[in-house]
Homo-oligomer: A and B are copies of this chain.
Amino acid sequence: MKCLTGQILDYADDPRRAGDSAIRHIEDGVIVIGDDGRIAWSGERSDLPANYATLETIDYGRKLILPGLIDAHLHFPQYRMLAAFGKDLLDWLNRYTFIEEQRYCDGEIAAAAARAFLDELLRNGITSCLAFSTIHPVALDCLFDEASRRNMAVASGKTLMDRNAPQGLLDTPQAAYDDSTALIAKWHGKGRLKYAISPRFAVTSTEAQLEATGTLVKENPGLLIQTHLSENPAEVEFVASQFPWSKDYTDVYDRYGLLTPSSLFAHGIHLSERELARLSEAQSAVVHCPTSNNFLGSGLFRLHHTTESDHPVNVGVGCDVAGGMSYSMFDTLRDAFTVSQLVGSRISAHEAFFRATLGNARLLGTDKEVGTLEAGKYADLVVLDPCATPLMAERHALSRDLHDVLFALMILGDDRAVAETWVAGDPVKPRS
């Protein structure tokens, strides 16, 4: 067993909705980690049970210990291709992304990529994610193998796409069904892994493939579903032309039964009120990826309009590497803040960190296992240093309260502010 001391912080619920009582902050806190990699006890140091008092202790001082950060949308095979000079989504896909992803038919390339990808996540304090892979079963095998070796809670699935991409990235409706079925049997529920049914987006799937995807959903109820929705105006138009019978983009997925309480739709920037109402009814979620939306000029997501309309829709956050510009959750939250400013309803740092922890855990269906520091959950943790650089230390001297400390972290922080990352009870941050 191990014992960590420091400031500890987690959220019992969304502090924007539930108020400040949802914020659980203990200045002089202790986390006891059992040999099973789970949290055995957490709370005030003065309340520490006597039987834990003699444990070996790692003292993080004034640093903040939070639940490990969770990323609800990114692309494993794009792990190194950030900052590709695309004009917009479709140009970026065709000129850069679809070229890079074809390499993942090669198991050696995919295995090396999986190591680098998970290293980047851990370097940035991200202990869990929902990620896209490619169409190649071997790529998914490599990602899951490596995640399994690290005991990380990773959700992913083979990508389904059978049109509008280079031959090397296309499968068929039948292969989509067969490969997914085999991979679900092989990986879903193995250790901390979860399978996600993963049609790329309506642009790259025929109606026959979406039909097959719907069959997968019916045969595997409760499984995560991930795809993209309403990211870019040209994409929305293209989808309308491909599915002339559809009411709108959301309706395409709806027709094939893909709107479930376990469905996560990346982006959702240009949704109509009808689409929001339908997503709300289906209890599906949208994943906000602000650095990506800015980078590709996709548009400004209206977060509180989405979460607080007459038909509220759950919203997660994701870095969306490599449309996104950074693996850092700080960068993601910083841009979520600036976008919220630009659309006139700013998010607080507490709301931001809630979404990156328990909020995303709920959407990924892992909130019983991670997302807070409660006893019984996995000891997936991130230790944040608000004074990681000379500038951050200067700024920290000005901090007025906990919110201010967190806000400065998300605006100014990068991987240097992640002092340590813990996965299932072990410190694992790769050193640069």
A interface list, Cβ under 8 A from B: 79-83, 85, 87-88, 100, 116, 119-120, 123, 294-297, 299-300, 325-327, 334-335, 337-342, 344, 346, 348-349, 389-391, 394-395, 397-398, 403-404, 407-408, 411-412, 414-415, 430, 432
Contacts and interface: CB of A to CB of B under 8 A. Distances in A.
14 contacts: A81-B398, A82-B391, A82-B395, A83-B395, A85-B404, A85-B407, A87-B346, A294-B339, A295-B338, A297-B342, A297-B346, A299-B342, A300-B342, A325-B338
Contacts of A349: 85
Contact of A295 (B341, B344, B397, B415): B341
Contacts of A80: 391, 394-395, 397-398
Q: Which 7 A-B pairs have the closest CB atoms?
A: A297-B341, A83-B411, A294-B338, A80-B394, A83-B408, A297-B342, A85-B407
A299 B348 CA distance: 19
A297 B341 CA distance: 4
Contacts of A395: 80-83
A116 B394 contact: yes
Nearest to A88: B341
Contacts of A342: 294, 297, 299-300
A48 to B, nearest CB: 34
Contacts of A337: 295
Contacts of A414: 414
Contacts of A85: 348-349, 403-404, 407
Given A294-B342, A295-B411, 17 more contacts: A80-B394, A80-B397, A80-B398, A81-B395, A82-B412, A83-B412, A85-B349, A88-B341, A294-B335, A297-B341, A297-B342, A325-B338, A325-B411, A326-B412, A389-B432, A390-B432, A414-B414
Contacts of A340: 297
Contact of A119 (B81, B297, B338, B390): B390
Contacts of A397: 80
A109 to B, nearest CB: 12
Contacts of A123: 390
A408 B85 CA distance: 9
B120 A391 contact: yes
B411 A82 contact: yes
Contacts of A326: 412
A355 B423 CA distance: 44
Nearest to A391: B120
Contact of A296 (B335, B341, B403): B341
A271 to B, nearest CB: 18
Nearest to A99: B398
A344 B296 CA distance: 10
A296 B340 CA distance: 10
Contacts of A119: 390
Contacts of A391: 80, 82, 120, 327
